[in-house]
Amino acid sequence: MRLAFKILGIAAVALPLAGAIATAQEPAGQDRVGIELNKLEQVDGACRIYMVVRNGRTAYESFKLDLVLFDSGGVIASRVAVGMGPLRAGRPTVKLFDVQDQPCDGIGSLLVNEVLECQPGEVANDCLARIEVSSRTDVQILR
């Protein structure tokens, strides 16, 4: 009987510890920021870019990206800073922005070059590592 109580006592201590370890080792995908290049649309001398952002568990008050657009030959066409925030935890969001004097058919690829802002309190490099990119267009998006 005494042995049974010792085993139960050990289990009572070990189970919360095991839960904490499992939480620390959760798949990183649950705290990812998915950025999908969804659509390009030519609008009055500018290319309007639509992005779907699928955020994981962390809410961000600000999330600002440094994007570099390349032409179809791989030459840098333009560079823009785009505010994607605020991003709510666990909720997809659509963000759009216009790149002036840039025809959409002249964009060959888009690079998420850096994360310029990532609040609350995250190091921008850590935020860059959390980004997963995809595209529903013929334009490739890179990280």
CA torsion 52-58-60-63 (nearest 10°) is -50
Q: Is the pLDDT of residue 102 over 90?
A: yes
pTM of the model: 0.76
Q: Is the pLDDT of residue 106 over 60?
A: yes
User: What confidence tens digit (pLDDT) does each residue in 10-37 have?
Assistant: 444 444 444 444 334 444 456 899 999 9
User: Is residue 94 very low, low, confident or very high in pLDDT (cuts 50, 70, 90)?
Assistant: very high
d(CA 10, CA 121): 37
Domain with residues 31-142, CATH architecture: Sandwich (2.60)
- pLDDT value of position 8: 45
User: What confidence tens digit (pLDDT) does each residue in 117-143 have?
Assistant: 988 755 666 889 999 999 999 999 999
- pLDDT value of position 133: 97
Lowest mean pLDDT among 31-45, 90-104, 107-121: 107-121
d(CA 140, CA 81): 18
Domains of the chain, residue spans: 31-142
CB 37 within 8 A of CB 141: yes
d(CA 79, CA 60): 23
Average pLDDT over residues 43-49: 95
Average pLDDT over residues 28-55: 91
% of the chain surpassing 90 pLDDT: 65
d(CA 37, CA 140): 8
